[in-house]
A = this chain, B = another copy of it.
Amino acid sequence: MTRERLYLFDTTLRDGQQTAGVDFALEEKLAVARMLDGIGVDYIEGGYPGANPTDTAFFAQKHDFRHARFTAFGMTKRAGRSAANDPGLQTVLAARSDALCFVAKSWDYHVEVALGTTLEENLKSIRETVKAGVASGRETMIDCEHFFDGYKANPEYALACAKAAYEAGARWVVLCDTNGGTLPHEVSKIVSEVVAHIPGDRLGIHPHDDTGCAVANALAAVDAGVRQIQGTLNGLGERCGNANLVTLIPTLKLKDEYRGRFETGISDEGLRNLTQLSRMLDEILNRNPNRHAPYVGANAFATKAGIHASAILKDPRTYEHVTPESVGNKRRVMVSDQGGKSNLLAELKRIGIEVGKDDPRLTRLLNEVKARENLGYAYEGAAASFELLARRVLGSVPNYFDVDSFRTSVERRQKKGEWDTVCEAVVKLRVNGESLMSVAEGNGPVNALDGALRKDLGIYQPFIEDLRLTDFKVRILNGGTEAVTRVTIESADGNGDVWTTVGVSPNIIDASFQALVDSVTFKLLKSDAPAP
């Protein structure tokens, strides 16, 4: 059975850039484009040449993508000018790209109010823009802005805009839900009506997530015949974002109904790289990854409940709609006092520790976990600290270093109205018999302690050079005079690995230091640093 081709169009670098706080630098655009090309995305919309210096520079370069068509975005020709006399259009036509995507109005109200022109002039502008694009030898497409709202207000005119683009030779006519307010049943209905006039393999969909339905709207459009999906990585985009390609790709590749009917450009290896790709984008943007993201989130295959955990042990498929490995993610059975031995066994198995169900050390570990959770430790959010604890109870973790003491101080004083802050820390430790003492300054006491702890670990220093602290969370438990502080630290290294450790104490500094020591120890363990 032959499967139909479904095309994926990524606009992370253009529409995704509309996200508040997101502003890609040139090298970042390049890095993202390479990742997208690497997994097999069909079109990469790189930006709007002429609109800003970064985009202009990005389209002045020559790119050698293996798979993707590099696409320049622009506006359709202005009314009252010829294509040759529209400098904006000429800038886009001059860009080095394989394809061109022009945005056109298709809602009569917008044509008259926002553009201030006539409905007929707008159709003419669409036709001439498409012709100029095609004449330049590039694949040309039209984004019909506000198509769904326009169609609801004036179906004849919205359709006339789409048909004008199609008849003038546009490879793709893209139906945009610009305001993001259209619901799946409306997408189904309206696309079905459009498909009666324009073949589905010439139609695209561009949904936004303002009702939380962007992904479902893309699927509804495909079900109704559309064959190109526009979206962004991690659903980046203005307001609530665009359709999330990182969510759509696994659905299209793994779910029977779509896998059976469609072929995409995404390779199986690309699919397995999806989790890493999603996190690399967050890394570039310095955002915390969404732990609950479908397929790729750190919690997407995490189970807390005891009743589910024992079933997962028996057969993971009973509680997983796809396998985590298929998208490069991992299963996680969280250790918490809600679960018992089976959670623990499952988690141990996942991290590669085999223990018999009746091994007495298992009971010891369970009791240790429960006792510590009673003190305020939370291992479900600190897998690295859990692994250290488990390996200590069950096997052995080398005693890489011993801390003898630490000290940190913050001093802030006012002199003639000027404030001056000094924050420093001293850590004294022993490595392999050698006594080492380091001092560091920092933005805050934990930052200073982190600096001092990692400044000189003797023979272990090379193993921790690429370690860095990426997140720090504090939660006060109990409250009042009995208050205890739980600190969770997230660390990362050059391999792109991320791990989380926890510390608990009435003293926030002490809790932080515990989590820091666990992080360094875990890094040494995972780097196979030799025992002293």
Contact = CB atoms under 8 A, between A and B. Distances in A.
Interface SS majority for chain A: mixed
B421 A412 contact: no
A338 interface: yes
A285 to B, nearest CB: 9
A211 B410 contact: no
A286 B381 contact: no
A240 to B, nearest CB: 5
A37 interface: no
A244 B244 CA distance: 17
B410 A20 contact: no
Interface string A419-435: 00101000010000000
Nearest to A485: B444
A293 B239 CA distance: 8
A238 B302 contact: yes
Contact of A318 (B114, B293, B297): B114
A311 to B, nearest CB: 4
A306 interface: yes
A276 interface: no
B240 A299 contact: yes
Given A213-B216, A286-B480, A404-B413, A240 B506 contact: no
A303 interface: yes
A338 B20 contact: no
B412 A305 contact: no
B113 A179 contact: no
Contacts of A414: 402-405
A288 interface: yes
Copies in the complex: 2
Interface stretch (A123-131, A267-275, A469-477): A469-477
B247 A211 contact: yes
A376 to B, nearest CB: 11
Contacts of A219: 183-185, 213
Contacts of A260: none
A209 interface: yes
A50 to B, nearest CB: 13
A507 interface: yes
A474 B181 CA distance: 34
Given A185-B223, A407-B412, A410-B509, 5 more contacts: A178-B319, A179-B320, A182-B321, A288-B479, A403-B414
17 contacts: A18-B305, A20-B380, A75-B307, A178-B319, A182-B321, A183-B251, A185-B219, A211-B295, A238-B302, A405-B414, A406-B413, A407-B411, A408-B410, A421-B510, A444-B506, A444-B510, A445-B509
Interface of A: 18-21, 23, 51-52, 75, 109-110, 113-114, 146, 149, 178-186, 209-213, 215-217, 219-220, 223, 235, 238-241, 244, 247-248, 251, 255, 257, 286-288, 291-295, 297, 299-308, 310-311, 314-315, 318-322, 334, 337-338, 378, 380-381, 402-414, 421, 423, 428, 443-446, 470-476, 478-480, 482-483, 485, 505-510, 513
